[in-house]
Amino acid sequence: MKEEIEKELNREERVFNEIKAKIGPKWQVKPSSQLNGKYRNDLKTIVTFLNQAAQSNSKLQKQIRDEAELFKDLDKTRGQLSDALPKCDKQNENQQAEKLKQLLDQLSTCIAQRDELKQEYSRQADIMDITSLLVAKETEMSDEKNADKGDFDLRAATTGALNEIENKIKDLNTAQEKLLNDITKINQEFVKLKGSNPTQMQRETFIHSLNQACEKFNKCQQHLKDGLRFYCDLITDYITPLQSVCVFFFF
């Protein structure tokens, strides 16, 4: 294409010079060599872009060839992949996982109960009008003995319910600490059990390989899409206008 366009531009300039030589000074048209400067620059730009694209294409082709074996698994059906996935005995793992699940459920329940108690504590504190209780008690008390007794009853009335809630929260905090210790222990056993299972390691290797294949395939696919978009833009912005100019010159 480059040679064809250059040939047409050279031909146009040659014809221009022939006409100018015949007509002489009366031929005051701007020289074709100047008018064609933009088109020659566009042609150089196209060649530069195509050279860069060729290098990118070579790298992409090499990557696809290198990963061809890895990409084969992507052609398999879900059933074929399931059959190829190493099988292992899940009984022990499932037992540990079930224990861990139960402990986590208990922890969630413990946290939820504690949150409810905190809300109840706040509600009780808000509805207790200490000033009203003091006024009511002082009205009923006529001597020091009754005042002392009233003071005791007042403390009991204002703090009894709150103390009960505080004690429940403390018990839940203690239970939570024990649950966290148990969860840590069971989780360590679960991780150790998985790590010591050779079949499980083979499964993880297989899945990791499949994941790598997907990631690399998606990257290659994106590069191909970018390449197609590049060529479409190059044709639209440079090649088609340049071809149109050459056709306009001589047809």
Residues 161 and 118 in one domain: yes
> How far apart, in whole angstroms, are the C-alpha atoms of residue 196 and residue 37?
73
Q: Is residue 245 part of a domain?
A: yes
Domain CATH number, residue 52? 1.20.140.50
Residues 68 and 162 in one domain: no
Rg from Cα positions in the chain: 43
Query: What is the residue type of 188?
Result: Q
> How far apart, in whole angstroms, are the C-alpha atoms of residue 112 and residue 123?
17
Q: Output the pLDDT for position 141.
A: 54
The label of the residue with tokens 């071809």 reads: 243
Q: Output the pLDDT for position 97.
A: 78
Kindly tell me the burial class for residue 170, based on how many C-beta atoms sit within 10 Å of its own C-beta (0-12, 13-18, 19 or more).
exposed
Q: Is residue 23 part of a domain?
A: yes
Q: Is residue 205 part of a domain?
A: no
End-to-end CA distance of the chain: 18
> How far apart, in whole angstroms, are the C-alpha atoms of residue 125 and residue 166?
12
Residues 233-237: contacts with CB under 8 Å, at least 24 apart: 234/46, 234/49, 234/50
Per the structure, the complete domain to which residue 175 belongs is given by 89-196
- Write the CA distances from 88 to 12, 53, 80, 176, 245, integer angstroms: 77, 48, 17, 34, 70
Kindly tell me the burial class for residue 106, based on how many C-beta atoms sit within 10 Å of its own C-beta (0-12, 13-18, 19 or more).
middle
pTM of structure: 0.45
Contact 208, 70 (CB under 8 A): no
Residues 126 and 38 in one domain: no
Number of domains in the chain: 2
Q: Is residue 72 part of a domain?
A: yes
Q: Is residue 220 part of a domain?
A: yes
> How far apart, in whole angstroms, are the C-alpha atoms of residue 199 and residue 212?
20
Kindly tell me the burial class for residue 135, based on how many C-beta atoms sit within 10 Å of its own C-beta (0-12, 13-18, 19 or more).
exposed
List average pLDDT for each run of 10 residues in the chain, which is 251 residues long: 71 78 80 76 84 89 89 87 75 73 90 89 69 50 48 53 85 91 86 70 82 90 88 81 59 44
Q: Is residue 201 part of a domain?
A: no
Q: Is residue 36 part of a domain?
A: yes
Residues 239 and 220 in one domain: yes
Q: Is residue 203 part of a domain?
A: no
Q: Supply the angle between the helices 37-66 and 2-23 in degrees, to the nearest 10.
A: 170
